[in-house]
Every structure is written in C-alpha cells, then in structure tokens.
Structure 1
Amino acid sequence: MKTRLYWSGVLGLLSATAHAQNADEVMVQSGRMLQRQLDAPASVSVIDGEAIRNAGPQVNLSEALSQVPGVVALNRNNYAQDVQISIRGFGARAPFGLRGIRLITDGIPATIPDGQGQASTVSLTSAERIEVLTGPLAQLYGNSAGGVIQSTTREAGAQPQADAQVTLGSYGLRRTDWQASGRTGRVGIVADYSTFHTDGYRAGSGAERKQFNSVLTADLQEGTRLKVVANAFDMPYAMDPLGLTAAQLAADPQQAGTNALANRTRKIVSQNQLGAVLEHRFSDDLRLQARAYTGTRDNLQYQASSATAGTWVGLAREFKGLGLQLNGKTRTDAGNKIDWVLGVDADQSGEQRQGGATAAGEKTGAITRNEYNEASNRDLFAQLNWHLSNLAGSPWTLTAGVRRSSVDLKSRDDIPVTALDPNGSGSVNFTTTSPVLGATWHASEQLNVYANWGRGFETPTLAEAAYAVTGTGNTRSVVGQFNPNLLASQSQHKEVGIKWTPTRDMRLDAAVFHIQTEREIVTSLSDAGKTAYTNAAQTLRQGVELSWRAKLAEQWRAQLSATWLEATYDSAFTTTAKTGSNYTNKTVAAGKAMPGIPEQQLFASVQWAAQGFGAKAPLGLQASLDWVARSRIWASDANDLTASAAGYGLLNAKLRQRYQVGPGRVEVYAGIDNLFNRRYVGSLIVNQASAQFFEPGLPRNSMVGVKASLPL
C-alpha cells in the first residue's frame, strides 16, 4: 500500500503538461555542480536576501526556512539548544543543534564529520541567499546528508556602503547590526557585526549573542579568485528553561521546567573560524576550486539533575579541513556535452569533553569525566551530467555520481581506570560508497521532468556514541562510556519531480519521494539527562512536496509551499523506559509514526508593494501576510496522545516602508507574529526521559525596527 502511494504520486507528476514562454535563469548547486535551477535534477529551493530580511529579525534560520517544502524548522525559543531543523524527516530526533543534515556557509562546512552542526553560527544579517538541496543528490555531500543547507554572504558592490539597523520586539528583544562594504581595485570586503538580546518569554530563557562575519574577495589575476571568510560567535549566556510536562504546559506555559531555575541551567558558547576558498579557471572548460578552514569552539553547559544538584559538560573543540575539486566540460564524438566534477574532502574535529557536578548552578567537586573525542572523514566524490540532445526526439540529461566515504570516531578516556569507572576509550570506522543515478527529460524550455535514485548513510554522532547501557534489569544505567556497537544507518532514496515555468512570473515545482532506511538510530535508554542509543528499526519516509510562486499583478505576488510526509517505523523494535527506579521494556510496533515530524505542513504568503516588485527592493510601502500551519507532532516513539502536540496555524503580518533620503535609504518596518494569539507548542524534545517534551511557542508578539543605508 505504501509503495503504491509513492507510484501514484509519480504518475500524477508525469501527467503534468506545459505551455510556457520563459525559463528560469537562477543558478544553484545541483549536487556538486553549478546548474540552472530549472534544469537541476533535484529539489533545490532558493531564499534570496530580501526574503531572509522580510522573514523576521534575522536571528534564527527557522524564520526563512519555514517557506521551504520538505523542511521542518521549529523555533524552540530556547537559545541554549538552537533551532530544530529536519529535512524529509532526517534530523528530527536531535535534542540540540543540528544532525542528519549538512550545513555549509560560504563554501566552508559548518557540520563536523560525525554529522553535528550549529545553525546559530550562520550570520543572517549579511546573508545574500540560502539554498536547500534535498533528495538523492544530497548524498554526494557524505555522512548525514538527509539534505544540504548552504548560506552565502553577500559580496561588496562597486559603491562603498554603510548600513545600520536596530530592531526592538516583545519580551525584551533587541537586535542591532552594523555593516560596511567596499571595493578597491580587485579587492572587496564585507564586514558585519550584530548583537542580539532577549529576556525570553519563559522564566529562565534570556539570552545574549554577539557575532562578527567578514568576507574578503580578491581577483588575484584573470581567472583566479580568492575568498577569505572570518567569523566569530560569542554567546556569553543562554539560559535553558528546559521542556515542560503536559501538566506544566497546561498550567503555565511561561514557567521553566523542573529544577531549571534552581540549577541555573544554561549554555555558554564561543566560536572562531577562518577559511579560504580559491577558484582558478584554466580555461572555459576546466576550473579548480580549493578550500581550507580551521576554527575553535568552546561550549559549557549546565544541566539539571535534581532540585539541589546538577551536572556540567564542557567541550573544547578544534576543527579543520581541506577540500579540492576539479570541474570540467567535454564533448563526445556525437557532439553531446558532458559536465563533470572530481573532488576530495578531508575534515577533522577533536574536542576535550569534561564533566562534573554542580550545586546551585556552579561547579563543585572534582572532574568526573575527562576524555578526548575525535571525528574525521576522508572522502572522494565524482559527478557527471551527460547532455543527450537527440534521444527519443527530445533532449535528456543523464546524471551519475558516487562518493566513497571513510568516517572515524574515536574516544580516549583520560580519567584513571578504577573498578567503578572502567576504561571508556574506543574507536570505530565507517566506510561506505554512496552512488547516485538520475535522468532529466527536458520536455520544453519551460518544463523539466526528472527522476533519480541514491544511497546514503548516517553515522552516530559523537554525542550519541558517548553513552552506553550497563547492567541488566533494574540495575541498568546509562554511563559515560564510548559505545562502538552503534552502526551507521543506510538509506535508499527515490525521487520524481517536475519543474515548470509557464510564464516568466510564475514557477511550479513538485516532487514525490520514497526513502527506506535500515538500522535507524533510536533511543535505547534515557536516564538523568543521559541518553544511550541503539540500532533497532527500519523506517519509511514517503511524501509529496509542492512549491508555487507567482507575480499576480504589478503590485501583488503570492507564494505557496506544502509538504505531506509519512514517516513511520517499518519494523517493530524495543526500547526501555525508566519510572522511578524501575525499568520497563516497551515494544514500538511497526507502523508507528516517527516523532518530531508533522505529517502535513503548509506555508502561504501574499505580498503587496505600492511601487511593484523589481530586481531592487522598491521604495514605498510593502506589506505581507504569511500563514504557517503544521499537523500534530508526536514526541515519543510510542505515539502516546499525552506525548504529542496538536496541529496549529499561525498568521504573521509585516509592514515595511522604504524612503530615499538624499543619497541614502531608510527602511522602517514592523511585524506581528501569531496575530490571532494562538496557543501552541513550538517544538518537542523527542523521547525526553522525564516526559518534559514540550517547548511552548510564543503568543502574539511584535517587533519594530529601522535600517539606514548610506553610500560612502
């Protein structure tokens, strides 16, 4: 029945027809190649700079990503844990940060080799665009490539410019941004410094951030360009209000979770990164790209265990990497063009993990955990697009790719071995090959139909491999000990889609996908803030994605994206729950929905501009109404109704007025989110041991701001 549903969707897409006038010229990363978005044999969404700025105060990736089909971007309103992002269901179980998807900023990986990433380090105030790649071609990015999110910082224009921006909002939100850009000769630079502060909606949820992002571009000679990226992220504090139980949520959604205030649960983060990307064009048919980067990240987190005591975890990370790829073009004897790429990626991350006890939110006693964790990868990849101009009377493009990946996870226990604290050292290697095959039928200049297949894998993260279960029966416990028995899950991806531009002002994208995963990593036992994982289930993800946007008239445009996703466990497995001092084995039956993933999601937007919409942000008044809706989301593998969040729909309204003041521009803007003051759950902590699943969404909230831009 499930497979029949997939193929029914395929036939529905293939029955589409087109009568069109113009084609899409937007260029995107189609796998590891730059290609016209309309021709890319994959689901690729682009969010431009204007859309990023109009989406909100430019604090969280979730603001802009909510308009991308297949992406679930949930704002926890908890800056100690970052936003929760999943793509086609991958990454939904992450208790903090990102996992299961790849994040890349200005060509530099922001995801370490084990699949962990941090969305908070993306500088949205200086971003020019965000691309989201889903489907089989994402497997060419290696481990945990359920999807790929790439952000790009804007480059300096010919005219030097200074920008200043201040945003104020509900619950003590203060956002400032100071930006300067300029070019001299062949060198251009953009430097951006932003700050963020919030008192928080919930008790104990205040946060503060400071961020610097700079991109320097230099045309060293004809055909050779260097890009240097430097950024720094400082979060001196982000209070963690923890999740709420169902009873706490019903009584008062603004309260902090159990023992959060007594233990002053919070996180402190500092990250610095420097990277460089060099591009050299040997000829029109051969181009080289090389990248190198290095950085550090210090992370200190205070957690709650009881009313009088807690724990702390500190991570001191160093990361670095190199990448090289060669892009070329050639022609066959029959005159058909072949685009190809060959490349290598080598990345490494090492962190000293320490931990101990706290009293009233401060460290106390000796260090009880001290180990060095390391993740590294060495990957080779290749891709080619073979353009067949005279096959079956219509142009076709055949796509093939492969990635050979080797990922190492290691842990060195630096605590002396005792009878009560055995050696926790260990290592494991994951080696696999990820092939991709696809074909695109260029039915007309305005309609492309594509189908592709790919195989991917997802290793456990260092955080998931950091704990193991010891003992049996009611003597079981979760201990801080490297678990080498976790295997990488393997996935088979199938996708069929259409891309249609019936007019120059309208675009329709639709895709049907079917993903089967073996050895899915699931929760084995969660106890006292520590979670051990195991491989226990087969899963099925299948669904339909739709994206439509159109300019309805000179002053009106609209956008719609919809996702239907059925994500289920395809086989039964057993997990363990702890109640008090007793342990109970629970069987999760086949057919249960995977937690953290809504089955339906909708984004709809109507926008109006007094001066119409052009290539440059128009002067005058502009207004928009956005509707965001999601269906019920489960919080546990067992799909208990008491561990689920009801579906909801939110209406957000924004106004923006742009003025020309002499040579400069001034923008004044205001926005109201959750206009109807809907009470809802913003995100869920999946399989939380104490049933503190719920993170409330914000009630009606507003912001106002002003931005000034002045040519220099």
Structure 2
Amino acid sequence: MKFNKSNTPHHTLTVGALLCLSVFPSSGLYAQTTSNDLKEIIVQSGRLEQKQFDAPASIYTIDADTLRNSGPQVNISDVLNRAPGVVALNRNNYAQDVQISIRGFGSRAAFGMRGIRLITDGIPASMPDGQGQASTVSMTSADRMEVLTGPLAQLYGNASGGVIQTFTREAGDKPEAQVSLYTGSFGLQRTDWQISQRSGNVGLVADYSTFSIDGYRANSSAERKQLNSVITVDAKPDTRFKFIVNIFDMPIANDPLGLTAAQLASDPSQAGTNALARRTRKTVKQEQVGAVAEHRVSSDLKLQARIYGGTRSNLQYQATNAWTGLERRYEGFGLQANGKTSLFNGRSMNWVVGTDIDHAQEQRQAGAASAGEKSGAPTRNELNEASNRDYFAQANWSLSERYTLTTGARQSEVTLKSRDDLPTPVDGSGSVTYKATSPVLGLTWHAQDNLNLYINQGKGFETPTMVEAAYSRDSNNNFVEKFNPNLQASRSKHLEIGSKWLATPSTRIDAAWFQIDTTNEIVAALSSNGKTAYDNAAQTKRDGFELAIRNQHTSNWRSQASASVINATYQAGSASYSPPNGNSLPAIPKQQLFASVQWSEKGFAQAGQKPKMGLEAGLDVVYRSSMWANDANTATSANYALAPSHTLLNARVRQRYQIGSARVEAFVGVDNLTNKDTVGSVIINQFSKQYFEPGLPRSWVIGVQSQIPL
C-alpha cells in the first residue's frame, strides 16, 4: 500500500456534511421523542458537582453505551475523538500509549500523557509532575467518562490543561456475571470477565480483561492483562467507603518507532530504522490501591477523604542500542469539605475547600544494550522525586434567579528532585521548586430556562515532568545528561465564553469560544531515539471555537456531532528556544469534526435502564485536518513534516438477544471503511525526522457479550 502525502478524501467530506445536517433537529420530530432529559446530567464542574447544563464550563460526558459501542474498549482515543477540543491520536504503538491533547495541552507528549489531569474513581492517575498513563484506565468496567476543559480545569492544579475523569460502574441490586470476547484484524484478541454483586450494604464490581495483538506494522505486537475492582460499603446512611484495586500488566509491547516521510510513502507497515535489529520494546507493570470515604455531617455539609498508593516498573529497549528502566513508588491523600450556605441576601452558595498532597519516587537506570538485551554496567542511575502540596477552594454563588457567580483558586507547590547515584566526575543531581496560584472567576446568565450563557477566566501553570527535566542541551544542540533546573514552568491565561441551549428536551447545543495566552511554553527542542531535551518558548497563543450537538430525532433515531477549530501559534519574544513567529504548534490540527448517526430497531433505552433487545447500527465520520510534526513547519521534499488531513468512516452493528435468563449481544465494527492512508499521530521534533506513526488501513472486529444473572 502506498502513502500519498496529497491524499485528500473529498468524497467522504460530502458524507460528513450530510451527517452533520442530520444532526440538526426537524421540528416535526419533536413530539415523537422519548429521549433522556439532557438538562439533568450531573457532572464535576471544577471541584463541585453540578448539573452539566448549568455548569459555567465546557464539559463533555461519554456514557457507558458509547464506551461499549466503541468495540474492544482498549484505547480511550476511540471515544475521546467525539469530545470537542480533544485531539485523540492513536499511535497504534502500545509501547508509547495513545496521544491525547486538550486545546493543545499535552500535544508535545512523546509517550503517555502530560499537560492533562487523569482521574479514576476519585483517585489521581497522573503523577505530581503531570505525567500519566491512559493505558491504565479500565474501559470495560467504566460507567462514564467526563472531559472538563477551560479555566475551571485549573482548579486541579499543575498540568491541568484539561481533566479526564472515569468512573467505574457500581454493583446492581441483582448479582450478575458478564463475559465478552472479541477478535479482529492484525491478530487482535480481547477477553473480559466481570462479576457484579451486592450483599447487604456491600457492593462489588470485579473486572479482569486481557488483550493481545500482532499489529499492523512490523514489530508492533503487544499483550496486556488488567484487573479493576471496586468495593463500595454503605456503613451508615450518611457514610460510604469505596475501595479501588487496579493492576495493569503489559509483559510485552514491541515498539515499531516512527517513520520518515520516505519510509511512510514506501511502506507504512514497516518498522522504523533499527527497530527490528535492536528489538525495541517495553514492559510495564503497575499496581495501585485506593480508598475514598464520604461522610454527610448534615444536609448542608459533606466531608470526603481519599488515600492511594501504588508501584510501577518500566523497562524499555531503544533503537540506540540502549535500555532504560524505572521502579516507581507513589502515594497521596486528599481532604475536602463540601457545603451549602445562605449569604446576606438569602441566596444560596455551594462551596468546597480542600487539600491534595501527592508524592512519587522512582529509581531510574539506563545502560548499553546489544541486540535488545542488557550489555555492561548501568550508565545512568538516579533517584527522581516529584511532590506537590496544594490547597483549593471553589464557590458557586447564586446572585439572583438569573445570575450565578463562580469563583475559586488553587495554591500549588511542586518540587522536582534528582539525585545522581552513579559515581562519575559529572554530578547530574539537582532540584527545583515551582509555586503558583491559579484563580478562576466566572459568571453564568440563565437567560431562559433552556438557555445559559457564561464567561469565565483563569490562570494555570504547568511544570516540566521528571522525564522532561532529565536532559539539557548545550550550545551545539547536543544532549547533556544532567538534570535541568533552568527549565521553567509555563504560565497560561484562559478566557472562555460559551452557551448551552436546550432547543427541545431532546436537543442540546453547546458552543464555546476560548483564548489562551501562554508564556514559557514547554517544548520538545531536541528528540532522538528515546531521548528528548526540552526548553521554554517565549509565548504561544491559542484561540478557537468548539461546538457539540446531541439530538434524538425519534425513539429510534439519534445523532450527534462535535466540531473544533483552533489556531495555536508561537509568538515573538525573547527565549533560548524561539520558533519563527506565527509558526503553528505541532500535533495540533486546526480543524476537527466528529459526526454520528445511530438507529435502534426497538428504540434507545432511557438513562439507567438496560439497552433494549433487537438490532442497532451506527455510522461515524471522523475528520482531522493536517498538522505539523515540528516547530519549524517544514514541508520540503527533503524535510517533510506535515501529516496530511484525512476523513474516516467507521461503522458499528449490534444485535441483542434474550436467551433464557441471559442477555447476549453480538457486535461487528469496521473502521476506515474506505481504506484511506492516514497518519495516526506524530512524534514532535524527532531528530532523525522519523515523525510519522501510520494509522490503520481498513480493519474489523467482531465480538460477543453475555450477561448472566447469578
């Protein structure tokens, strides 16, 4: 298969336009709808629970049915592509995880997630320095996901360009077992085994899943096993405990590396330079436990405490005939009080105050390798530490029947330390402490019962991660293996203006315009074969518009669409690393579109109810414009760094049966129906110009799921 850089699928854009048109409601269908009340969905609005419709922020929810309809439920990028403002790139490289960014934050990540806060069941899945791993999220047992963008996200502290929260489903009243089996293209195999049971005041959900794949590209096979278990204990009517256990084991994930433009055009299924000869790969194991306690003191006061801890081990073999590994231990706890009070004018105010204290410590080593095995003594041995001590507060004050004031702030202190334990003449040790106050102020005008307009602004900051501070650059643009305390935290100013309109009880339209000005943006200045040195750019500017529409035309037909337009550029200024003024930030497409139409033979179920029997089908359109892979924005034939735009068509069909007391569901999904050549993601500023990670050609997956009462 040949990859054409000028490939632009015009005919599928027409299909996408038609799907978008189908999202807008027809007045003749209003009376027939039996959809859920889109005004009553409760979400985390900053640090406070609030109706999504009333929240002065861009918050997108993904329900359990959408998660299940994504297929084998391995990559969160499969569902996050429908959230406006989110760029969800699947590297198809399980050694490096998916690449997620929100309004441009997190786009520089060469692996894992950074710049975005990831939280599962109230427990942080991001480290104090802002680095997280999306692969540890158990999609198979998740009840919903929430994506928070904009100024309110800054109340979660360091590196909160956006917040992604996942919530495990709770045990139902009746015990149940669930088994899911999937098989698909490129040797994909997926199994999931769940039990759900409630005994008195104790509920249990236990989920064990496995995943393996040979991979589309050479040297891209992977295996995973994961256990996610949540126990809830309602000790008293006003006291609840939640215990979470999550174990993630990836014994092998081969790394196919990125491709140059020439390699991509020649054969996108090949592995990158030296990947096969040097057996590039990674192994990961993570174990985490956590507990959340909630106690309601009165109808107007609730207390919450959370504590967690875990370990993580990584071992990676790189194309430079080198290996790197770490043994991490992390822990943290948090306290918060939520209350409701009346102020001098008799208007109500909801408030929250709290603290988060987190710590992570890892022994990181590296050394030479030969043919993918360790060779010789370690050449790097250091103890890295990251910690934070934060305090936060937020209040939503009802000024009048039509106006609500939202205000809040977070005081953060983040410390990074590195102790060089290798006896060499050059001591790579160092430490740095970052402090910041992140205020937020917003106002919501409840213009009508079905229309809210809001404006908010805030400040945020993002420290380097320990990995980003590990290397420096010298005057000749060469790597210096020494902790970089001179790397500054980036500071951002956010402004957002938005509207939420419930056109009918079954039609919801959200729109938001935003502007973000950042100083000392952290950028990948030099990257080559597993090593990346970072620097600060003087200024960047992001402004854009987001639109999300959900509509249920009838009980049998529903549709949704989301669109994002963002202009993210470097601005002139004095800095040691200065891309040309006006250049686009890499890995951020200027336009994105997601559109979906779904049909159900028996009608879609109401919220909280099990899906109805019968046939369901859906068609999705995913469009992403071109994006740069380097700060220089070069597109010459010798130095091509532009990932072209593409449009994908994805189809889903599900059939549900009732066989005795068991519910059985058959699933068929086909992605990239038109078999387009695409770039799945890019490796920013890669020194050898191996920027591109190919997307998958046409691929399929079939599955069967059974729910059996116990």
Q: TM-score range by the shorter chain?
A: over 0.9
1:629 corresponds in structure 2 to 623
Q: Measure, in 2, the Cα distance between the counterparts of 1:574 and 1:645.
A: 27
Q: Describe the shift of the 1:23–1:365 C-alpha distance in structure 2 as closer, same or farther (beyond 3 A).
A: closer
Q: Is the 8 A contact 1:635 1:644 kept in 2?
A: yes
Within 2, Cα distance between the matches of 1:575 and 1:529?
23
**How far 1:481 moved relative to its partner?**
1.1
CA RMSD of aligned residues (A): 1.3
**Residue by residue, what CA displacement relative to the aligned partner does 1:227-284 show, whole Å, maximum 9, x if unpaired?**
0000100000000000000000011000000000011000000000000000000011
| Residue in structure 2 matched with residue 592 of structure 1 by the alignment | 583
1:139-176 per-residue CA deviation (whole Å, 9 max, x = no partner) reads: 00000000000000000000000000100000000000
Contact 1:171 1:200 in 2 (8 A): yes
User: Equivalents in 2 of 1:37, 1:85: separation in Å?
Assistant: 23
C-alpha distance in structure 1 between counterparts of 2:420 and 2:447, whole Å: 59
Cα distance in 1, alignment partners of residues 138 and 524 from structure 2:
33
Cα distance in 1, alignment partners of residues 38 and 225 from structure 2: 42
Secondary structure of 1:248's counterpart equals helix
Once residues 537 and 237 of structure 2 are traced to their aligned partners in structure 1, the CA distance between those partners, rounded to angstroms, is 55
2:228 to 213, 218, 223: 213
- How far did residue 336 of structure 1 move? 0.3
The verdict on how the C-alpha distance between 1:23 and 1:232 changes in structure 2, with shifts beyond 3 A counting, is: closer
CA distance in 2, matches of 1:302, 1:198: 20
| Partner SS state of residue 262, structure 2 | helix
User: 2:564 corresponds to which residue?
Assistant: 563
Structure 1 residue 546: Cα displacement: 0.2
Q: Give the corresponding residue for 1:485.
A: 486
Matched AA of 1:447: L
Distance 1:262 1:124 in 2: 35
Whether 2:633 is the aligned partner of 1:639: answer: yes
**Is 1:458 paired with 2:458?**
no
User: CA shift at 1:397, angstroms?
Assistant: 0.3
Q: Aligned letter for 1:303?
A: Q
SS in 1 for 2:93: coil
Is 1:438 equivalent to 2:439 in the alignment? no
Give the structure 1 partner of residue 14 of structure 2.
none
1:541 is matched with 542
Structure 2 residue runs without a partner (length 5+): 1-26, 32-36
Aligned twin of 2:516? 515
Distance 2:462 2:409 in 1: 16
Distance 1:499 1:711 in 2: 41
Q: TM-score, normalised by structure 1?
A: 0.93
Q: 1:574 to 1:200 in 2, by over 3 A?
A: farther
Cα separation, partners in 2 of 1:157 and 1:529, compared to 1, 3 Å = closer
Q: 1:659: which partner in 2?
A: 657
CA apart distance, 1:544: 0.3
C-alpha distance after superposition, 1:441-462 (max 9, x if no partner): 0112211111000000000010
Q: Does 1:328 align with 2:339?
A: yes
C-alpha contact (below 8 Å) 2:528/2:686 kept by paired residues: no
Measure, in 2, the Cα distance between the counterparts of 1:23 and 1:551: 10
TM-superposed deviation, 1:664: 1.3
1:201-240 counterparts in 2 under 5 A?
Answer: 201-240=216-255
Alignment map for 1:373-522 (pairs within 5 Å): 373-390=384-401, 395-418=402-425, 422-470=426-474, 472-473=475-476, 477-522=478-523
Structure 1 residue 386: Cα displacement: 0.4
2:675 is equivalent to residue 677 of structure 1: yes
2:520·2:537 contact (CA, 8 Å) conserved in 1? yes
Matches of 2:136 and 2:103, distance apart in 1: 23
Q: Deviations over 1:28-82 (max 9, x none)?
A: 0000000000000100000000001112210000011011000000000000000
Counterpart selection for 1:195 from 200, 210, 220: 210
**Shift in Å, 1:588:** 2.2
User: Helix, strand or coil for the counterpart of 2:276?
Assistant: helix
Partner Cα distance (1:610, 1:526) in 2 = 52
What amino acid maps onto 1:690 in structure 2?
S
CA distance in 2, matches of 1:657, 1:222: 40
Report the AA paired with residue 536 of structure 2: N
Percent identical among aligned pairs is 61
**Is 1:270 paired with 2:270?**
no
CA distance in 2, matches of 1:633, 1:451: 30
Q: Which moved more, 1:593-602 or 1:633-642?
A: 633-642
Give the deviation of 1:480 after TM superposition. 1.9
2:309 to 294, 313, 330: 294
Give the Cα separation in 2 of the matches to 1:143 and 1:42.
19
How much does 1:572 deviate?
Answer: 5.6
Q: What is the identity, as a one-letter code, of the residue corresponding to 2:405?
A: L
Where does residue 24 of structure 2 map in the other structure?
none
SS of residue matched to 2:469: coil
Task: Tell me the distance in 2 between the aligned counterparts of 1:652 and 1:423.
Answer: 53
Distance in 2 of aligned mates of 1:528 and 1:618: 51
TM superposition score normalised by structure 2: 0.93
Residues 555-581 of structure 1: CA deviation (Å, up to 9, x unaligned): 1100000000101001267788xxxxx
Cα distance in 1 for residues equivalent to 2:612 and 2:115 = 39
Contact 2:38 2:506 in 1 (8 A): no
Q: 1:519 to 1:219 in 2, by over 3 A?
A: same
List alignment gaps of at least 5 residues for structure 1.
Answer: 1-18, 577-586
Residue identity matched to 1:531: T
2:604 to 603, 609, 613: 613
Q: CA deviation at 1:530?
A: 1.9
The aligned runs of 1:99-248 (5 Å cut-off) are: 99-248=114-263
Match of 2:648 in 1: 650
User: 2:354 matched to 1:343?
Assistant: yes
C-alpha distance in structure 2 between counterparts of 1:185 and 1:482, whole Å: 54
CA distance in 2, matches of 1:59, 1:688: 27
CA-to-partner distance for each residue in 1:360-405, whole Å, 9 max, x for gaps? 0000011100000000000000000100225xxxx11000000000
- Whether the 8 Å CA contact 2:526–2:685 is kept in 1: the answer is no
Q: Distance in 2 between matches of 1:498 and 1:417?
A: 59
User: CA contact under 8 A between 2:657 and 2:663: conserved in structure 1?
Assistant: yes
8 A Cα contact 1:30 1:40, kept in partner: yes
8 Å CA contact retained: 1:465, 1:486: yes
> Residue 77 of structure 1 corresponds to which residue in structure 2?
92
- The 8 Å contact of residues 572 and 588 in structure 1, kept in 2 or not, is answered as no
Instruction: Determine the structure 1 residue equivalent to 2:10.
Output: none
In structure 2, the residue matched to 1:362 is: 373
Aligned residue for 2:400, secondary structure, equals strand
Kindly provide the CA deviation profile for residues 202-248 of structure 1, in whole angstroms up to 9, marking residues without a partner as x: 00000000000000000011200000000100000000000000000
**Separation of aligned partners in 2, 1:708 and 1:525:** 50
What residue number does 2:7 align with? Answer: none
Q: Which amino acid aligns with 2:658?
A: Q
Aligned equivalent of 1:580: none
CA distance in 2, matches of 1:516, 1:705: 46
Aligned to 1:352: 363
2:526 and 2:605 mapped to 1: Cα distance? 55
Tell me if the contact between 1:575 and 1:588 (Cα under 8 Å) persists in the aligned partners.
no
